[in-house]
Structure 1
Amino acid sequence: MLQDIRENSQGTIAKIIIGLLIVSLSIWGMDAIIGGFSGEPEVATVNGQDITEREFQRIVQIESQRRLSRMETPDPSLLNEDQIRKEVLEALIQQAVLTQDAEEQGLALSDADIDALITQMPQFQVDGAFNRDRFVSAVRNMGMGVTEFRETMRRQYVINQIRTGIVQSGLAAGESAAQLLRIQNQTRDFRILTIPESAVSDQVEVTEEEVASYYEQNAQAYQLPEQVDARYIVLSLSALAENIEVSDEDLQAYYDERAADLAREERKASHILIQDGADAEETIETIQQRLADGESFADLAGEYSIDTVSAEEGGNLGYAGRGVYDPAFEEALFALEEGEVSEPVSTSFGVHLIKATDVRKSAVPPLAELEDRLRRELALSRANERFAEVRTDLADRAYQADNLSGPAEALGLEVRSKEGITRDGGEPPFDHAGLVRQLFSEDVLKEGFNTELIDVGDNMSVVARVAEYYEARQQPLEAVESDIRAELVQQETEQALQERAEAVVAQLQTGKSADELGLGEWTTYTDQGRSDQALNPSLLSTVFSLERPAEGSVFGTDLSGNGATIVALDAVDQGTVDRESQEYQQILEFLATINGQREYGAYQDYLRNRAEVERP
């Protein structure tokens, strides 16, 4: 048998196969050869095709990291892992359905196509040429093998081909775009009258019986949620710094070390400001050459600088310390020797040539004047060095202890209290969802353990425990009576205003005037558009919801604000449409894209509904 193998290995076919293996290994590594041979457990099967556990877990991890990156303060405890896993699995099923559809349509990329795409991707190139090591490293950092990455590219490319084709095939009727533009540009002429709440206040009366009845009917709204009172320790840089003693000797040494920085340095600067643009580089080169030829900086500032105020004084800006100028300007200025001119410096104002004309430093303030500030700085610096160590120590002590007083005493920290914390949180630091979730966990709430040490902010960590638990309970009527009364008064006032407004509208429709009804003068508005910022949005919504008047006026009512507003719509001015305008073209393209996306969504649903999906 070995002899047969030896003989066959000398044949032409064997040599070709070996050559291909060598090329594949040299470019893609072992993944290109063995990637497809390893069987893996699956999480679902779509039309006979497996979705592997490894692929599923990798995408779950990527999605979890993506959601964490979007948090202001990343906290894994805030992630709903079950929801993520559910959404990822459905996305992978949908991807498999789409990939299979693309294959049925004959859309595919050859290995050569994939190789060409990969070797042309800038992120895999060094000095303009494909670099295998960079490619493999980048793929590994994604948590993928080379073969897996190639197959992912193959799937996504063909799926996107179908998606793009369907979306771009979306059509929209020109008249639909024109009608939308007419509505958008429409203006209306109308008048308003206002009936204040005081006009119906004598009709509003709320009895004790009504309050009691409302309380009984809405009892759930007046329940206090379950709450806890908590005891907690805060570890922060400032708290740690308070327990760090700074000796007089250390303070003196720190003062001596900072002496150079404590002396305030101010620099007198002049500049020539050139407007940034196509000619800026040429202008700067001309100025630099004339400076090199011995011409005065001040004269050139007067001739070229667009900062006309300083140009009249030869570009002089006067003295300034740090924190005054644009960061780029400041960095350049404070790097110059006295009398030196900078290279061009770009800021939001334009391009500068900067000259340092003088440097002056104030005397270092005496230690007594800076003692408190420097002592705090030094303590904070030392606290920063110790923070990670103390945090670990506190986490260990709190985990082992059945109280907080021991860890607090050992580390010189304070045990604080906070009352009335609900599952929705409370005042800081219990506005942190992860800490609140821990506080209401079974171990902490029922078993009496401390929470884990939770990072609630930069260099701030909290450990807490439940001091007292209160079950959800009904608030007595006496405690909420005033709130209920106010609610009922508001409801009855609005009802009375609505009835009064409708009665006035009925009388106006019979031809009576506002004066006859004792409502004063109408306030008139003409050519008002939908986006007018000066009017109440609710009022505008009412105005633009009224039917176009055939003859006379159409009336409506609005209860926003502190009263009822009666609207008389007199005319509707249809917006004009220029079918050659950019606005019209944008709306037409937008409608076509929306229709294309709707068609693609329907296509996805069709494929998904007819797919055979099995889950273990």
Structure 2
Amino acid sequence: LADKLNLVATDEEVREKIINSPEFQRDGKFIGFDEYRRILAYNRIDLKDFEDSKRIEVLKEKFINVLTSSITVSEKDVMDYYKREKEKLNVEYAIVDISTVQLDKEPTKDELKNWFEKNKESFKIPEKRKGEYVIIDIEKTKGEVEVTESEIRDYWSENQFLFQIPEKRRVSRIYLKFSEKDKEKVSQKAKEIFSKLKEGENFEELAKKFSQDEKGKDGGDWGFDYTALFSEQEIKKIQEMNLNDISDPIELKDAFSILKLTEIIPASVRPLEEVSNQIKDVLLYDKAQKLAQKRGEDLAKEAKKSKSLSKIAKIKGFEVKTTPYLEKEGEPLPEDPSGSINANLFQLEVKKVSDPFMTFKGICVLQLTDIQKSRDAKFEEVESKVRESYIKYLKKEKAKEIAYALKSSISFKTLENASKEANLKYYSKEIGRLDSIEGIGFNPYIEEVIFSLKEGEVSEPLPFENGYAVFRVIKYIPPDMSDWEKEKERIRSSIEQREKNKFIQAFFERYKEELKVKFNQEAYQKVVDEILGRF
């Protein structure tokens, strides 16, 4: 496709791509081409192959830019999105959760059978597959490899950025809170304190006297551990300051902040003696994994020739295990919690042997031995699932009745009182369109409905996964437009990217259908395993 559009990636563009790759940056700068080549060599990545892959990335970006160059977002679209993102509601609501609903009686077997017949498709037995497999345990393979002191030293020398202790900055702060009513007054006070500091008055004493955060009584000293509690503005300012600098008052959302940088501990590298055992473990695992991978490749190659994994495995002294019948998205084996064996079984034909792939315990080679096709279930096979499904349905219907009764009672009671009398969970919250609703979770349908209500209006009972909810809008809070200028480019970029992604996905789906492209899951998994194995 790129060829048809006469797109090329020049050597200079590839070079820029490499220089700006995050994995080759340290302290915001490119590590240099000598170290770049050393890293590739250490990870056994061919230089030409890697740079060819970067060339493809450049072409891909150019191709996508050409395809999507006509996609634009209007100012109105950006403004509408901003308003939706920022508008809020004060609401009260009650939840009827099915976990609190009691049924009058247990369903009979006839009722369960009737439910089963009506919903047979949802109780279908999925396709299941069975196989034999060998896992070459990487931990056990560690005992067969050695790591020398010189290898540990070389790794430490070539990868010092991994063992860097970042620079630390100690900060003191004077923090003055304000409300909308007294903002100007507090701003003036902050300027007065800043003037006193410039005249040489003691920061610690002024902090004890005026600062309104938890460290004020200690002279404003926050030490080195403040990043989780300070604002982005403050963190950015601290990084710009020199030792003993005092910042101008910084206006935050609800306070003014004056900062002093009191100590800098320079960045350093952890000494070899301190990290030697850690490096040894990394190198042992790397060598053991490569040995296990090689044995897996040899085993798979011979097993494919003989068409019998168990036969070759026994000759080579590997333990062969047999899976139960597994579903593609079903319960994984204990030694493979990620479900790689399940996934790979469903990529094979009967009697075919897989390439080696990574599992939690080690390198696995797998042979598919049998397939049970998807089929309609017999009632007895899925009775417990039918019971669970039917009881959930009955409870949700009862929850719906309770929710409608609650709504009817609100005409002569408050929602809070009606909820308490019915022993239902009651909430009073401020909710934004993109917020998760406590007790319900993220629910676009419910949020769309409640944002369409007028102040004081009560919703119909609204369904969610585990029950029903009734809402009343107390107050509509219009969007705060103060951040519009700062936020609009971020929003524009976000909407453009979303629209471009939708366009690209649709384009390739159409192109894939025209060319009858098939996705090779086995090849994909092999590449993923190979890449993950390097880290």
- Larger radius of gyration, structure 1 or 2? 1
The TM-score, its normalising length taken from structure 2, stands at 0.49
- Structure 1 length-normalised TM: 0.43
